Homo-oligomer: A and B are copies of this chain.
Amino acid sequence: MKQDEKRNLLKQNVFDAAYKRIEQDGLTGLRARDIAKDAGCSLGSLYNAYQDLDDLILNVNSRVLEMLKENISSNLNDDENAEAALVRLAVNYMNFAYENYNLWSSLFGHTMQDNAPIPQWYTEQTNATFLTLVTPLLKLRPELDEAEAFILVRTLFSAVHGIITINLQERFISVPKDMLQIQLIEFVQTYAKGLQNKA
C-alpha cells in the first residue's frame, strides 16, 4: 500500500470512529483515547491525521451538514405549491433532527476551544446550505429579489430550528414527535398565510 493511501486510510478510520462516537454518545462523550482505540491507531496518530479534536469534529459536522442538505430537500415535488414546499422542508428538517439527534446537536452545540475562530470553509458551507431553501420561497413571493428571499428564508429556517431545538432540549417540557409535527406544520402555514396577506 502506498504511503498516501495509508495516510488517507488513517484519516478515514479516525473520521469513522469519531462519527460513530458522536452519533452514539454525543459530543460530550467524545474522548481522544476512545477514538484512537476504535480507529485502531495510537493516540499520537490521531494528531497526525487531524490538527486537534476541533478539526476532527468540524470535519464530522461538515459531513452531517451534507447529509442534512440532502435530506432536507428530498421529497420535494416541483408541482406542489410553495406553502406545501415550505411545510415539507420544515418537516424534513424535524425528521432529520429526530433521527440523527446527536449528530444534529453536534452541528449547533460544538464550540471551539480557547475561543478559536471557526474556519472560513466551515462557515461558508453552513451558510451555503441555506441557499437550498430559497427556491420554494421565491415561488411564494415572486416579487422578491434573491437577497430579500434569502433573508426571509433564513428567518423562517431559524424559527423552525428554534421550535425543534427548544422542544428537544431537556430543560423544556417536550411534546411527542407527532404533536410537534402538527405544531410545526401549523406554524409554517400560519406564517405563510401571513406572508401572502402582506404580498
Q: Residues of A with Cβ closer than 8 Å to B?
A: 28-29, 108-109, 111, 113, 115, 117-118, 122-123, 126-127, 151, 154-155, 157-163, 165-167, 169-173, 175, 183, 186-187, 189-195, 197-198
Contact = CB atoms under 8 A, between A and B. Distances in A.
Contacts of A194: 189-195, 197
A123 B170 contact: yes
Given A163-B158, A166-B154, A169-B108, A197 B187 contact: no
10 contacts: A29-B115, A151-B183, A158-B166, A159-B162, A161-B162, A162-B162, A162-B166, A190-B198, A193-B193, A193-B197
A118 B151 CA distance: 36
Contacts of A117: 170
B187 A155 contact: yes
Contacts of A113: 28
A172 B126 contact: yes
A167 B162 contact: no
A74 to B, nearest CB: 22
A60 to B, nearest CB: 14
A156 to B, nearest CB: 8
Most buried by B among A117, A122, A175, A190: A190
A158 to B, nearest CB: 4
A183 B155 contact: yes
A83 B191 CA distance: 14
Nearest to A125: B171
A199 to B, nearest CB: 10
A160 B187 CA distance: 12
Contacts of A163: 155, 158-159, 162
Contacts of A28: 111, 113, 115
